[in-house]
């Protein structure tokens, strides 16, 4: 159970130069408002508010967000109103609390509930991304205490977490939060599969842990020998739900999973990252095609790191990730990490909205049918993502299984409409070809061609491409 003293410790260490009295006042206000209220777990309700604020403080969110985390259930669950919150804490915090409150009010069931939940999420994102981050911090603690919820409600909350909240955390680059939400929901949504994966890796993890410890000692020795500065080296175990998804793609064969445990090396800056990579490759031979430079070419969600898979002298393959402290924080906390650089206010600025948020709002306006809306969202937001390149080296993010036509329409409607062929990695390829991360795509066009082929609707998978093709065919 997280106490206010725990929250205060993290505030003092992370916000030494800022006024944390705002958060202390919010705690006293929330304590008074929730006085006498208990959760189903039997603990005082205020501990949920503290845990939400603690999660936000760990992400190094701004102080108004942390205060709103403490106050987020006050208007809905106590005698105090949103107006009371506004009078005491001002407009900014009141708007954050109001945004989180609206997300919690759902009057439908089934498909309608699912669609309404998504629509509310996207509207909140458009208004201020901090609202979603507060909601994710709130959901994390709810998942950690899910045993205290009625059985019939448990499955719905866990499914929502797996299908909505974890993918949104992923798109915000909040990888640590995404994996925690997935692993907390996994046993409730897929109990048999969870038991199978857990049993499958139990013995293997003991062997892999001993093996990665040997790799770690050798790497440390090499880095010390070359006087390379590193902050720490640690083993990272693949989270269970991610492992389950990979096992399904690999024919349920655990021997085909090379990154059950990876070695993560954290260094002070970018130059050190490349120095470490050189030392690692001098010691061990890298696998062809498994060296990935996400520093020179970051993923669209901001993820930066060097990845390499190497053959070791133990006859096994090891995955090694190398990144700076700043990159490590960004990989854990994603968009929330920017609060360290006083950029958090920009999360509420429409001009700095991620492109995919703007795209989701467009879908929301144009698709009113709930079933169709959910189908498009699952394709555009929740599918695994790939990262491909234009001939000039620009990174384009698309859903898995996207085709050259999806790429063409993503670049520009006219390029899509006039497409007559495509080259992938300088080789002519069919328009039905499924793209892979790292592909370089060149679209061949004919200026005399004005409209797309109706059959293309069966080739493209992104809703944006489908909509552009339909619009052109209507004309």
| Residues noted as catalytic | 76-77
What is the C-alpha to C-alpha distance for residues 355 and 39, in angstroms, rounded to an integer?
A: 39
Handedness of CA 42, 45, 46, 49 (dihedral sign): positive
CA distances from 192 to 41, 48, 87, 197, 200 (A): 26, 30, 51, 9, 12
Phi, psi of 170 (to 5 degrees): -65, -45
- Closest by CA to 26, choosing from 46, 55, 3, is 46
Torsion from C-alpha of 369, 401, 353, 161, nearest 10 degrees:
70
Strands 306-311 and 232-237: unpaired
Per-residue tokens: 248:
């399904």
Helices within 320-438 (DSSP H only): 325-333, 355-366, 370-377, 404-411, 413-417
What is the C-alpha to C-alpha distance for residues 188 and 199, in angstroms, rounded to an integer?
A: 16
- The angle formed by the CA atoms of residues 78, 118 and 63, to the nearest 5 degrees, is 50
How does DSSP assign 140-193, residue by residue? HHHHHTGGGS-HHHHHHHHHHIIIIIHHHHHHTT-HHHHHHHHHHHHHHHSHHH
CA distances from 204 to 217, 363, 471 (A): 20, 45, 53
Non-local CB neighbours of 59 within 8 Å, separated by 6+ positions: 133, 137, 174, 177, 333, 336, 337, 339
What is the C-alpha to C-alpha distance for residues 323 and 305, in angstroms, rounded to an integer?
A: 5
Give the DSSP letter of residue 384: P
- Whether residue 228 contacts residue 211, with contact meaning beta carbons closer than 8 Å, is answered with no
Handedness of CA 191, 196, 201, 203 (dihedral sign): positive
CB atoms within 10 A of CB 393: 9
Please, how many CA atoms are within 13 Å of residue 115, restricted to the half-sphere of its CB?
A: 16
């Amino acid at each position: 159970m997280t106490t206010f003293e725990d929250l205060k410790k993290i505030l003092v260490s992370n916000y030494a130069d800022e006024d944390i009295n705002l958060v202390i006042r919010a705690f006293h206000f929330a304590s008074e408002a929730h006085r006498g209220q208990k959760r189903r777990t039997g603990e005082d309700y205020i501990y949920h508010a503290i845990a939400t604020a603690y999660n936000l403080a760990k992400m190094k969110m701004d102080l108004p967000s942390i205060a709103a985390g403490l106050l987020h259930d006050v208007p809905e669950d106590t005698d105090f109103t949103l107006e009371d919150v506004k009078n005491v804490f001002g407009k900014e915090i009141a708007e954050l609390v109001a945004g989180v409150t609206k997300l919690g009010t759902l009057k439908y069931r089934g498909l309608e509930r699912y669609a309404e939940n998504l629509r509310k999420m996207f509207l909140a994102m458009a208004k201020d991304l901090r609202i979603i981050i507060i909601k994710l911090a709130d959901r994390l603690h709810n998942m950690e205490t899910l045993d205290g919820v009625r059985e019939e409600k448990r499955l719905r909350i866990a499914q929502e977490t797996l299908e909505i909240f974890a993918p949104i955390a992923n798109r915000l680059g909040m990888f640590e939060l995404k994996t925690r939400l997935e692993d907390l929901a996994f046993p409730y949504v897929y109990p048999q599969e969870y038991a199978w994966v857990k049993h499958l890796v139990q013995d293997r993890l003991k062997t892999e842990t001993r093996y990665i410890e040997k790799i770690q000692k050798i790497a440390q020795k090499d880095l010390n020998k070359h006087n390379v500065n590193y902050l720490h080296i640690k083993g990272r175990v693949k989270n269970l739900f991610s492992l389950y998804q990979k096992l399904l793609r690999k024919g349920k064969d655990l021997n085909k999973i090379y990154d059950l445990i990876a070695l993560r090396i954290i260094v002070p800056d970018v130059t050190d990252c490349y120095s470490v990579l050189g030392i690692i490759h001098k010691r061990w031979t890298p696998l062809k095609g498994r060296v990935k430079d996400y520093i020179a070419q970051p993923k669209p969600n901001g993820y930066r790191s060097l990845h390499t898979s190497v053959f070791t002298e133990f006859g096994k393959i090891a995955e090694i990730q190398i990144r700076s402290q700043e990159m490590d924080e960004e990989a854990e906390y994603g968009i929330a990490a920017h609060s360290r650089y006083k950029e958090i206010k920009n999360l509420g600025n429409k001009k700095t909205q991620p492109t995919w948020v703007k795209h989701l709002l467009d879908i929301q306006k144009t698709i009113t049918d709930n079933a169709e809306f959910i189908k498009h969202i699952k394709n555009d937001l929740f599918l695994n993502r790939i990262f491909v390149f234009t001939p000039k080296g620009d990174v384009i993010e698309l859903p898995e299984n996207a085709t050259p036509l999806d790429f063409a329409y993503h670049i520009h409607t006219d390029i899509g409409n006039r497409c007559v062929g495509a080259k992938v990695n300088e080789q002519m390829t069919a328009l039905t070809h499924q793209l892979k991360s790292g592909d370089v795509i060149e679209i061949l066009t004919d200026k005399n061609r004005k409209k797309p082929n109706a059959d293309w609707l069966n080739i493209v998978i992104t809703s944006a491409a489908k909509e552009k093709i339909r619009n052109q065919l209507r004309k």
